[in-house]
Structure 1
Amino acid sequence: MAQSFDTMAFKVGSFVLLVVLTAVASVFYIGIKKDLFSETITFYVTTDSGDNIERGIPVRLSGFNIGQVRRVNLDALDHIKIEISIFEKYRKWFREDTRISLEQEGVIGNSYLKVLPGSDASPELEPESTIALNKVGGLSELLTEAQPVMENLKAIVANVKTITDIFVQEDGPVQRILANLETMSSKLTDEQGLIHYIAVSPEPVLKLEGILSQADQAMGQADQAMTQAGSLLGNATARVEDIAPMQKELLELIREAKDILAQMRGLREDLGPTLSNVEALTANVSNATTDLITLRRKSEYTLRLGTELLERLNNTWPLNRGRPPATDRDWPSP
């Protein structure tokens, strides 16, 4: 009986010991998984408001929990000092240019401190160093920041409403402008309007064709006038060349030759207006529009002057030997 009791006690003791060892092993396992036995270092975060900050909220780096808030103290007015505990293995991410901000999970989720690691070139922070909380997140803070934007949106909506009221006002400036534009467009597109006259009416094309036809006629007459003027100059040159065989006779009659030279100077002076008229006629023909009657008179006057020149040459000594003197004619001026 005693032996049976001892066996029972041994079994119970072994079971209890096994349960205790299992519990201790589980605690150690969970502690290792949760970094409960990891070494930690302390940093301080300062801010001017303790809203949404309390003991136990996590400290996260890239979504991983690397520590938690241990204490929140009010050192002075608008000066909150937050003590955070960080696992030693994450110490390398805390440098002089590291920043910490208060974030929130979703719109109404729990708050947490988010660590923005510094650059590798910046030196590491010593334990118990202080970092400023440079950004405060959360719904209330977002609403506070969005308040000026909402006020601006209200002002914009009011301005848009005023503008739309002006547009729909029957006697407003916009409606008057639209009415004036409609009147102008109707006048332009009317049968008496400019657009209809230019795009539809055949009258401008007919007028332009008439002007071009008259210009072609004027150019043809100008070509004829130039041809006749060239013939006149050729005849005058031929008459002068006929005088060459008479050089001996001219040497004997120097006194008479002087008179001939004087007469030739007079003829030259008479020929000058003829050439001027030809040049003026050419210029006028280039810019001719509808004044073809004046052009024709100038051409006839030029031909008559050339004919008179030939007759005066024929009447000039020694070309007029044995010929009756020509009668003077009164030619009409152009």
Structure 2
Amino acid sequence: MSAESNKRSVTVGIFVLVGLVIFVAGVFVLGGQQKRFTRSLRIMAVFNDISGLKVGNNVWFSGVKIGTVKRISFFGNSQVEVDMDVEQSSQQYIRKDAKATIGSDGLIGNKIVVIQGGTISHPEIEEGDRLQTVAALSSDQILETLQENNRNLVRVTQDFKALVGNIRRGKGTVGAVLTDSLVANNFKMAMANLEKASVNTAAITGSVSRFASKLNTKGTLANELVTDTTIFRRLSRSANKLENVASNADKTVGTLGQVSQNLNRASEKLNNNNSPLGVLLTDQETATNLRITLRNLNEGTRLLNEDLKAAQNNFLLRGYFKKKAKEDEKRKADSTDASQK
């Protein structure tokens, strides 16, 4: 064998060896992606619509790839059963009440099966378990929803355009405010009045706050009136007394009114010429006769006193008067002794 043929054989051997290495590496890579060399368990899920899911698509759990779709077959009348191989290491995290749904790997990527973990109160999944499913929104449904939103947006835009047009033409309250200078001035005046009212309200609020602080300050009359029950009872008694005084004053006023009426009636009688007092007060002749009569009575009284003195000096009556004088002196002495005892 020549050297050239040996060289060719070595080159072919090297290429064959490299090809074998690449083949083995590819097998291992593809096997790793398909979970061929890991221990797995098979679970199933029945969907109404798998939205284009294919054998070999991935199975995800909490954003982590845990298996692949192994078989797709019809189930019942119109449902589809999907068999999945998941890693046995993820078994402890997936519960029997977990739910499976059809998702997408990215916005327009391949379809995948997404498993939503259940509650810890349920046991772990086992070989051959069938998971519950949740219907996912299909792209057609999403597009239909977007189309409906677009139609609503068009209607809203048209309504807004009509509203802006009415405002520009001065229709409605807002249009009148924006286009009519008189309405705008009135609106400005109303806002100014409102601002003044707000200032006054703030001042009143401050006054009320200060008054409340005085009420809460101990030792002040206002605080005692609000908090001290003794002062309240005293004020209540004082009010009752004032009410009694007022009622008594009303009675007194009534009595004074009656007295005034009596005095008026007496005055009317005094001014009446037919009554005796009226005649005495108003008739001059009767008054003159009354004066003469009184003068005569005084004169007669004086003469009677002189006659009595003359009778005392008469010897016939002198003994009587002396006896009477002694009795008077004895009576005075007895009364003096009685008062001294």
TM (norm. structure 2) is 0.43
Going by fraction, where is helix more abundant, 1 or 2? 2
Structure number with larger C-alpha Rg:
2
| TM-score, structure 1 as length reference | 0.44
Structure with bigger RCO (C-alpha 8 Å, 6+ apart): 1
